[in-house]
Structure 1
Amino acid sequence: MPDVPRRSATTLVLAVLALVVVPLVPGALSSGSLTGFVRIPVESLLVLLVLALLPWRPARIAVASIFGAAVVAAILLAAIDRGYESALSIRFDPADGQQLISAFGLVSDALGAPTAIAVVVLVAALAAGTAALLAWSALRVDAGIRRHVRAGTAALTGVATVWIVSALVGTTTTATPVAAAASADAIGSAVSLASAGATAQARLVAQAADDPYARAPASDLLTALRGKDVVFVFIESYGRSAVEGSSFAPGVDAVLRQGTADLAAQGYASESAWMTSPTFGGISWLAHSTLQTGLWIDTQSSYDTIVGTQRFTLSDAFRTAGWRTVSDVPRDTGPWADGVSFYHYGSFLDARNSGYRGPSFGYARIPDQYTLKAFADRELASGHTPVMAEIDLLSSHTPFAPLPQLEPWDAIGDGSVYAGQPAQGDQPAAVWEHTESIRTAYGQAIQYSVGSLLSFLQNVDDPNLVVVALGDHQPSTIVSGSAANHDVPVSIIARDPAVLKPISGWHWQAGLEPGAAAPTWRMDVFRDRFLAAFGPQ
């Protein structure tokens, strides 16, 4: 049977190739270069050496299976880390695994739930298949070495010697070390990030407890804003790239300039600057908590830690000083535990009680203009007591489609006016076929969200209205570019110009559009500066 040795040799070659190539995948993902494959993986050498020392086949199968699972785990960690860096400009901390669920939600909204589930199933199948392939490859090569002891041992010893010498003298191919431990490095990096995260959490708890504002009497809080309705509006993905240095910035700038002029004609004053957000491309609640607490919350584990403390938030300050406090998150379909236990909001507006009867617009089910109209009708009606609120505008959330259209303020009603708009607009799958169409859709979404805010300001008859409007983070790199920073625009808008006098020392720029020379603050400094400016003078 002459074909048997040939098939045996073929399977051996394939097994060797798998052991050489697959463990190098994490390094290639990390470097983003194919030169990462021109290396010798130490993981494969080690598993073959261990297998050679084991006389029992069940033990060899167990070791080979562990090897396959470890390499696949390293590949997945490296791939997720690469995705985090590309989309969010941060490293992946395994303690932030909750974000994988959020990522799945975004894929579902962009491509549809069936497609998202199919992707997950495919990844799981590929992972299981790759682990099995590596285990089989290790056992196949070990069998070959046992069958040809002298030649096999010599080959394994020779490759191991090359790896050791290369590691010692730093031999490289096109600036890439020949001696590789890519899978081990990926797992080690994940462990180091998790360890650093744990240390950061302990430090954050100490910072949360050291807070003089938590001990301030109510009479000393926000004295310059007494009697005002103060609304903090986060505009989803409203980053610096929306107004500066991009193909879609001119359209957004035109809306901001026209809005500044229209508001000034109605007696509004506004000043703007930049803030550096702790997050990028997503995880909006990190920005919200950073602004509220005056602490730098840049990971999910940091957020989980801070909401377990008694840190004094902006909403706490307003509540303590006598304001009604409201959270308005239109996407929420159930109780928000952190809103009750940490932010201590007095009431909540969300998808359950906003009265919306219109069609769904994908991820941002309820149009921003409706969110603001419903808030105004419920919370700013004639004779109301002063209110402080945080409102999240979500129509500019990924995937930026389908997008609502602005309607006359008095025609919004229960949202039925939007019937038919989702079907008539661009669909996510079509938008996400090309980079330029994604960027165009993003620019249009920001124009809509800003336009919704302007519609609110122009139609609400409230002489005591004060709005702090800002972005939560930059859009992902596919929109903002790989060199984008973490800056977002921030504006304070007031019907009473006297409101802006306490912040004259901030040197913000007049209008809704900050220029390149406008001040840039880290978002965590805002709480203390805001409380100081509007406290006792």
Structure 2
Amino acid sequence: MPESTRIRQQPAPHSPHAPAWRLGVKWALSTLAATLVLAALLLPDTGGALQPDRFSRLPVEAIVGAALVLALPRRGRIVAGAAGGLVLGTLTVLNLLGMGFTEYLGRPFNPVLDWGLLPDAQAYVADAMGKPVAIGATLAAAALIAALLGVMALAVVHLAHLLARHRRAATRGTLGATVVWVLCSALSLQISGVPIAADRAASALAIQTRGVRDTLRDEADFRKIAKVDAFGNTPADQLVPDLRGKDMVFTFIESYGRSAIEDPIMAPGVDRTLAARTKALAKSGFHAKSGWLTSATYGGSSWLGHSTTLSGLWIDNQQRYRTAMASDHLSLTKAFQKTGAWDTVGIMPGVQKAWPEQRFYGLDSVRNAFQLGYKGPKFSWSTMPDQYALEAFQRLEHGRKRTKPLMSEVILTSSHQPWAPIPTMVDWDRVGDGSVFDAVEKSGKKASDIITSPSRSRAEYGRSIQYSVTALTEWLQRYGTDDTVLVFLGDHQPIARVSGEHASRDVPISIVAKDPKVLEKVASWGWTDGLRPAHDAPVWKMSAFRDRFLTAYGSTPHPRKG
């Protein structure tokens, strides 16, 4: 029998004579490929929208794709299928990143600016869960991305060939699906409130494209904004004249948000602490006024909150931050340096590498995590307890004899997620080099037990805020003088798992002083007496604080117009 005849007589893989298991495998692969592609086409970019009914829709992209591959020759089908699969895989990666960013930062992932934040996420996992977990998570993420791109490309190519082999049935099915999609779209037909006709992938690509365009446009616009400064040309002798002779302390408490004060689970303990600390400060002669600021960030990226507060610019993304740091815009802390009437210092226990931002903030010197003399254990992400950082600040800077008063920027990190283990207060005389905290850290809760539980996270977050506020105000009682002025605030709300899906971006801010003239200067602001701002206390954008503060304490505007 000729070879060609023998080949023609062999059963085709899809013929009724092919082994049943082979047909089963082929249909299983086809079903899996179709499921993957449909899921990718309908996948939302927020965890809250990840509901079963979202995947019962008819995506127009599948119909258009089917029509395209049916019209193409074999080579064209392979190229179009592989390209479409890579696009779909990339979109899936962006959607997954969007879920993570929405959960932790309260905003979508920006494909232009946010890749640089991923190393910070890895460092956070390493600090919170250990380096092996961080390395494993990084490798798993890389493998997942590679698998998504590869598998999605193979799935689309496989479906393209399947449609071509059954061209007549596929053509009829595509035409029928088109009619159904058009009717459902025109009549706005829904199932359980969800539209049947979907264009999720196309819309997502359009949103990402607009986001890239808007980001590039915003970069150019913000450069112009940063050059304009109401106090940019103010002479040194006309900056903060009403605070001359005062030791100024600007302190950010990590993740200290409105939820800590008003959430029904966290608020009772935090409010008790604020009331007790207000009373204790009053006994020592200190009084406070408090209000609200709306932060430029949420859940993380603390540096955006710090820079917005101190620059008077709305800095809500990494590009704006880089632009501001490279500019000559006058930061609030730099205003004190510019006068020549203050020594200026930064206490940065969270900084563990070079920090060129020192120039923008006008700090004569900066003490980072390695320059505070700490010999104790890390508390998850936080390099040292707030109590130790404050005691080191006193020993190394605030308590030194000086010819000028001191202006300090202090960042407190004990309330940084994952809120385990949390330090506890020790006798101030026993703080020493921090070794006393070994036992405290060992007896604390494990980060892995807290980070996976929303209820535990909320409870421990509240405890961490109580600790940070207590450490700061006890430091003020112990070391503050008649000329000490403390301004402290939160940099952002905690993540949605703690603050809630629809929480505001508000953070509390307080000014504390013994000298009554200091608080009289801000009496017109309508802030609440004490450390706890009232629910209806004024709410300003965080970027408004610099100009209001400079104006309240006698600074004269001399604008720079760019």
Q: Does 1:95 align with 2:112?
A: yes
CA change 1:360–1:272 in 2 (3 A) is same
In structure 2, the residue matched to 1:47 is: 65
Q: Does 1:115 align with 2:133?
A: yes
**Alignment map for 1:272-351 (pairs within 5 Å):** 272-322=290-340, 323-340=342-359, 342-351=360-369
- Give the SS at the match of 2:250: strand
Q: Does 1:85 align with 2:102?
A: yes
Cα distance in 2 for residues equivalent to 1:294 and 1:312: 9
1:7 offset after TM fit, Å? 4.2
1:359-411 CA distance string (max 9 Å, x none):
22121011101111111122222532211111100000001111112122222
CA change 1:383–1:477 in 2 (3 A) is same
1:473 offset after TM fit, Å? 1.0
Contact 2:77 2:160 in 1 (8 A): no
Cα distance in 1 for residues equivalent to 2:34 and 2:46: 19
> Of residues 507, 510, 518 in structure 1, which corresponds to 2:526?
507
In structure 2, the residue matched to 1:228 is: 246
In structure 1, the residue matched to 2:11 is: none
CA change 1:169–1:494 in 2 (3 A) is same
- Bigger drift between 417-426 and 171-180 goes to 171-180
Amino acid at match of 2:418: P
1:496 offset after TM fit, Å? 1.8
In structure 1, the residue matched to 2:204 is: 186
- Give the SS at the match of 2:416: coil
CA change 1:19–1:28 in 2 (3 A) is farther
CA change 1:518–1:21 in 2 (3 A) is closer
- Bigger drift between 123-132 and 230-239 goes to 123-132
Cα distance in 2 for residues equivalent to 1:68 and 1:226: 65
Cα distance in 2 for residues equivalent to 1:12 and 1:355: 62
Amino acid at match of 2:423: P
- Give the SS at the match of 2:151: helix
In structure 1, the residue matched to 2:560 is: none
1:4-53 CA distance string (max 9 Å, x none):
44544444344333333332223786733322211222333333333333
> Of residues 83, 89, 105 in structure 2, which corresponds to 1:66?
83
> Of residues 168, 173, 181 in structure 2, which corresponds to 1:155?
173
In structure 1, the residue matched to 2:217 is: 199
In structure 1, the residue matched to 2:439 is: 420
1:185 offset after TM fit, Å? 2.1
Contact 2:81 2:160 in 1 (8 A): no
In structure 2, the residue matched to 1:429 is: 448
- Give the SS at the match of 2:401: coil
1:142-176 CA distance string (max 9 Å, x none):
32333333223222332234334444554433333
CA change 1:390–1:152 in 2 (3 A) is same
1:353 offset after TM fit, Å? 1.3
Cα distance in 2 for residues equivalent to 1:480 and 1:28: 17
**Alignment map for 1:134-173 (pairs within 5 Å):** 134-173=152-191
In structure 2, the residue matched to 1:75 is: 92
Q: Does 1:475 align with 2:494?
A: yes
- Give the SS at the match of 2:463: helix
- Bigger drift between 440-449 and 11-20 goes to 11-20
1:485 offset after TM fit, Å? 0.8
Cα distance in 2 for residues equivalent to 1:485 and 1:284: 16
Contact 1:274 1:488 in 2 (8 A): yes
- Bigger drift between 4-13 and 248-257 goes to 4-13
> Of residues 479, 497, 504 in structure 1, which corresponds to 2:516?
497
1:219-268 CA distance string (max 9 Å, x none):
11110000111010100111111122321212111221121111111111
Gaps of 5+ in 1: none
In structure 1, the residue matched to 2:418 is: 399
Contact 2:421 2:444 in 1 (8 A): yes
1:525 offset after TM fit, Å? 0.9
State percent identity of aligned pairs.
37
In structure 2, the residue matched to 1:363 is: 381
Gaps of 5+ in 2: 1-17, 557-562
Structure 1 length normalisation: TM-score?
A: 0.94
> Of residues 406, 430, 438 in structure 2, which corresponds to 1:387?
406
1:422-456 CA distance string (max 9 Å, x none):
11111101122422211111111111111110121
Cα distance in 2 for residues equivalent to 1:481 and 1:221: 41
Contact 1:334 1:352 in 2 (8 A): no
- Give the SS at the match of 1:440: helix
- Give the SS at the match of 2:366: strand
Cα distance in 1 for residues equivalent to 2:149 and 2:400: 66
Contact 1:402 1:422 in 2 (8 A): yes
CA change 1:426–1:212 in 2 (3 A) is same
Q: Which one has a bigger Cα radius of gyration? A: 2
- Bigger drift between 126-135 and 69-78 goes to 126-135
Contact 1:233 1:467 in 2 (8 A): yes
Cα distance in 2 for residues equivalent to 1:345 and 1:331: 16
Contact 1:328 1:349 in 2 (8 A): yes
- Give the SS at the match of 2:521: helix
Cα distance in 1 for residues equivalent to 2:184 and 2:46: 19
Structure 2 length normalisation: TM-score?
A: 0.90
> Of residues 429, 441, 450 in structure 2, which corresponds to 1:410?
429
Q: Cα RMSD (Å) of the superposition?
A: 2.2
In structure 1, the residue matched to 2:44 is: 26
CA change 1:221–1:358 in 2 (3 A) is same
Q: Does 1:527 align with 2:546?
A: yes
CA change 1:530–1:117 in 2 (3 A) is same
Cα distance in 1 for residues equivalent to 2:540 and 2:455: 31
Contact 1:29 1:78 in 2 (8 A): no
Contact 2:45 2:96 in 1 (8 A): no
Contact 2:82 2:156 in 1 (8 A): no
In structure 1, the residue matched to 2:3 is: none
- Give the SS at the match of 2:436: helix
Amino acid at match of 1:123: A
1:348 offset after TM fit, Å? 0.3
Amino acid at match of 2:79: A
1:107 offset after TM fit, Å? 3.0
Cα distance in 1 for residues equivalent to 2:354 and 2:155: 51
CA change 1:5–1:244 in 2 (3 A) is closer
CA change 1:536–1:475 in 2 (3 A) is closer
1:33-91 CA distance string (max 9 Å, x none):
3222112223333333333333343x433322221221121122122223322322222
Contact 1:106 1:398 in 2 (8 A): no
Contact 1:474 1:480 in 2 (8 A): yes
In structure 2, the residue matched to 1:36 is: 54
Contact 1:28 1:36 in 2 (8 A): no
Amino acid at match of 1:249: A
- Give the SS at the match of 1:295: coil
CA change 1:481–1:21 in 2 (3 A) is closer
Contact 1:77 1:187 in 2 (8 A): no
